[in-house]
């Protein structure tokens, strides 16, 4: 079937949320500026008109209060979606997130489940400085008890959101601001894709091989899927054939697809917008080393250096992994 319409990532997310809300009256959305404003990254655009203030709920500026409320509602059988406006703000509500949301299922011996979705905006590239530009993928993936989803295209964003809302466990759904397709923050080519009008799900823990290649494996997620594809296109001009893997979810992590690819290419480049130390790049490299050390001929990591992300555009561009950095890393492992 050909799909003759394309959606931005924000609209694909909203379409999935709207469909789930129509289907199940226990689903509701709360967060800061999500009702009248429609979400500062358009994550709830248009939903208030259909569902009203009882189900699209603006909350006071207390992440502790409303994330705690979401955990309670979830334990009582509702399916809340709670938005943390910027992932950087997790600190003020970390107990609600990692002690309550992530662990109550286990602390209650399975007496309750916490079927909620924590949506949150991540990433930089637009001069928003150190407190509004982080990816923090590793922070959430590190703590047991939460599934972690990072879509890179509108098609994936819709299918993963359907799956997230239907999941009986807490899911952290991290959307990259630069991919949402906003007028004031234009997306690069790539995230806007054909999106079927009907519902569909994308299972967690299934990476997507975005481009097949025999010479190197590039593993990444979110915005950097598109930068890796740009690098791969450029490398192809020099006859270097790069495989690009979009992880799509960090928890669960599809190690099998990565290892299978490294068996083919022998060369691994892991690209992450999150900080270099104690994060995704180290995790993927060590996972491959655990299972397929013999196959591994060369490894490179491309990640945000361990510094607070600068405000100045030139400095932010300097620290943020670019397509050229990925290209150089792939050349280094040849």
CB neighbourhood size of 176 (10 A): 27
Does 1 help bind another protein (rule: CB under 8 A)? no
- Sole binder of another protein in the list 7, 16, 74, 304 (CB under 8 A): 7
- In the complex, the smallest distance separating the C-beta of residue 182 from another protein, rounded to whole angstroms, is 8
- Sole binder of another protein in the list 6, 26, 58, 241 (CB under 8 A): 6
Nearest CA to 218 out of 239, 246, 238 is that of 246
For the record, the structure tokens of 237 come out as 């001009």
Does 184 help bind another protein (rule: CB under 8 A)? yes
- CA-to-CA dists, residue 218 to 179, 243, 246, 256, 271, angstroms: 20, 6, 9, 14, 7
Active-site positions?
Answer: 132
Does 36 help bind another protein (rule: CB under 8 A)? no
CA angle 71, 74, 77 (to 5 degrees): 155
> Phi and psi of 34, rounded to 5°?
-95, -20
Does 158 help bind another protein (rule: CB under 8 A)? no
- In the complex, the smallest distance separating the C-beta of residue 114 from another protein, rounded to whole angstroms, is 35
- In the complex, the smallest distance separating the C-beta of residue 38 from another protein, rounded to whole angstroms, is 10
Does 176 help bind another protein (rule: CB under 8 A)? no
* C-beta of 7 vs 161, nearer to another protein: 7
Does 186 help bind another protein (rule: CB under 8 A)? yes
Residues 6+ apart with CB under 8 A from 260: none
Does 178 help bind another protein (rule: CB under 8 A)? no
Does 48 help bind another protein (rule: CB under 8 A)? no
For the record, the structure tokens of 13 come out as 């997310």
Does 5 help bind another protein (rule: CB under 8 A)? yes
- Sole binder of another protein in the list 181, 213, 310, 321 (CB under 8 A): 181
For the record, the structure tokens of 67 come out as 């994330």
For the record, the structure tokens of 287 come out as 């996972």
Q: What is the CA radius of gyration of the chain?
A: 19
């Amino acid at each position: 079937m050909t799909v003759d319409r394309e959606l931005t990532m924000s609209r694909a997310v909203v379409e999935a949320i709207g469909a789930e809300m129509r289907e199940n009256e226990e689903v509701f959305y709360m967060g800061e500026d999500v009702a009248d404003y429609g979400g500062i990254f358009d994550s709830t655009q248009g939903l208030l008109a259909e569902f009203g203030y009882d189900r699209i709920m603006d909350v006071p500026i207390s992440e502790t209060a409303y994330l705690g409320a979401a955990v309670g509602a979830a334990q009582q059988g509702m399916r809340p979606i709670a938005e943390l406006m910027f992932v950087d703000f997790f600190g003020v509500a970390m107990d609600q997130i990692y002690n309550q949301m992530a662990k109550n299922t286990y602390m209650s011996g399975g007496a309750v489940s916490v079927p909620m979705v924590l949506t949150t905006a991540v990433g930089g590239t637009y001069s928003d400085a150190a407190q509004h530009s982080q990816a923090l993928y590793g922070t959430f993936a590190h703590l047991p008890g939460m599934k972690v989803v990072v879509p890179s295209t509108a098609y994936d964003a819709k299918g993963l959101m359907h799956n997230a809302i239907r999941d009986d466990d807490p899911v952290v759904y991290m959307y990259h601001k630069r991919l949402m397709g906003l007028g004031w923050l234009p997306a690069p080519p790539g995230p806007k894709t054909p999106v079927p009008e009907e519902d569909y799900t994308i299972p967690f823990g299934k990476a997507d091989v975005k481009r097949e290649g025999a010479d190197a494996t590039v593993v990444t997620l979110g915005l950097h899927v598109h930068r890796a594809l740009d690098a791969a296109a450029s490398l192809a001009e020099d006859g270097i054939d790069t495989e690009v893997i979009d992880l799509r979810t960090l928890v669960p992590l599809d190690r099998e697809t990565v290892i299978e690819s490294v068996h083919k290419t022998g060369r691994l480049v892991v690209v992450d917008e999150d900080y270099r130390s104690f994060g995704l790049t180290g995790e993927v490299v060590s996972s491959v080393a655990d299972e397929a050390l013999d196959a591994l001929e060369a490894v490179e990591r491309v990640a945000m250096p361990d510094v607070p992300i600068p405000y100045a555009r030139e400095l932010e561009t300097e620290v943020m992994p670019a397509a050229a950095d990925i290209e150089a890393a792939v050349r280094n492992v040849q």
